[in-house]
């Protein structure tokens, strides 16, 4: 699986959009980008994933650059409950199902 | 859907004792994973099963750790004998081989070995 690079921490004001970047310059054509988050004392929670196109669901939007070497997770209106560690993970969609977690980005939403 | 259920939620034991952590995956899921999380090493994959068969146990730290999945609805992670360095949060997760590829995690077991 391709390696990812994320900033260790970010702050965001409540009600504003939170934009979390991820670099994955060695991504290959059959690898997806996944985002999970872990709220304190809980297990990681799936947010969204994508291959090439931008994706949106009820939790967030995922913007993947055209060359696929980086992506951004967008929380459109951050709330205090979005304070968590956000993990960007790249992996193929078939075969081994396990995920390898890096250190992630600790997002602090400020009131 | 009850989600992935882990027990106990907290476990405090003394060095040298046997510890057994339990996991019930989501019904219909055929993959089960055990992860360990510490401040120093983050989230580490220990072992995972597919259709109750261990597929990759390369993350299991040493012979003191063992995991079993006797049926599709139950798995155990055993540490014998336990050591203080085993103190961590242990997460179980499950997913299925068809449909969307999301891992569903349990709430974890906080293990403290004194």
Residue-by-residue DSSP string for A36-96 = EEE-TTS--EEEEEESSS-EE-SS-EEEE-TTSSEEEEEETT--GGG-EEEEEEEEESSS-
Both tokens assigned to A5: 């690079």
Closest CA to B78 of A91, A71, B90: B90
Chain B residues in contact with A40 by the CB 8 A cut-off are: none
* A98 touches B: beta carbon within 8 Å: yes
pLDDT value at residue B101: 75
Residues of B near A (CB-CB distance < 8 A)? Answer: 4, 31, 33, 35, 42-43, 45, 48, 50, 55-56, 91, 93, 95, 97, 101-108
- Subunit contact B42:A103, Cβ cutoff 8 A: yes
Element (H, E) at A109: strand A105-110
Q: pLDDT value at position A99? A: 87
Q: DSSP string spanning B27-96?
A: TT--EEEEEEEETTTEEEEEEEEETTEEEE-TT--STTEEEEEEETTEEEEEESS--GGG-EEEEEEEE-
For strands A105-110 and A9-13, give the pairing.
parallel
Q: Which residues contact B86 (CB under 8 A, 6 or more apart)?
A: B19, B64, B79, B111, B113
CA distance A2 to A6: 13
Query: Which pLDDT score is estimated for B1?
Result: 65
Per-residue model confidence as pLDDT tens digits over A5-61? 999 999 999 999 999 999 999 998 888 999 999 999 899 999 999 999 899 999 999
| Cα A45–chain centre separation | 11
- What pLDDT score was predicted for residue A94? 65
Q: Reduced to 3 states, what is the DSSP secondary structure of residue A15? A: coil
Is the separation of the CB atoms in B67 and B34 below 8 Å? Answer: yes
Please state, in angstroms and rounded to a whole number, the distance separating the CA atoms of residues B65 and B35: 12
Question: Which residues in chain B come in under a pLDDT of 50?
Answer: none
Give the model's pLDDT for residue B21. Answer: 98
Q: What is the pLDDT of residues A51-104, one digit of tens each?
A: 998 999 999 999 999 999 999 999 999 999 999 999 999 987 666 678 889 999
């Amino acid at each position: 699986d391709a390696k990812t690079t994320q900033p260790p921490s970010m702050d965001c004001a409540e009600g504003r959009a939170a934009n979390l970047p991820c670099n994955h310059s060695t991504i290959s054509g059959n690898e997806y980008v996944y985002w999970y988050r872990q709220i304190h004392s809980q297990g990681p929670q799936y947010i969204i994933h994508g291959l090439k196109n931008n994706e949106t669901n009820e939790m967030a939007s995922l913007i993947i650059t055209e060359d696929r070497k980086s992506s951004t997770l967008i929380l459109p209106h951050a709330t205090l409950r979005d304070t968590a560690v956000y993990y960007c993970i790249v992996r193929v969609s078939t075969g081994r199902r396990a995920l390898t977690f890096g250190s992630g980005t600790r997002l602090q939403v400020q009131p | 859907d009850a989600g992935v259920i882990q027990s106990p939620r907290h476990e405090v034991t003394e060095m040298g004792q046997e510890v057994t952590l339990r996991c019930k995956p989501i019904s219909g899921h055929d993959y089960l994973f055990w992860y360990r999380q510490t401040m120093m090493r983050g989230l580490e994959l220990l072992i995972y099963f597919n259709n109750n068969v261990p597929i990759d146990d390369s993350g299991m730290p040493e012979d003191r750790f063992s995991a079993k999945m006797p049926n599709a609805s139950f798995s155990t992670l055993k540490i014998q004998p336990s050591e203080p360095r085993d103190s961590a949060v242990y997460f179980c997760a499950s997913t299925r081989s068809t449909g969307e590829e999301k891992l569903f995690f349990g709430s974890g077991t906080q293990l403290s070995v004194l």
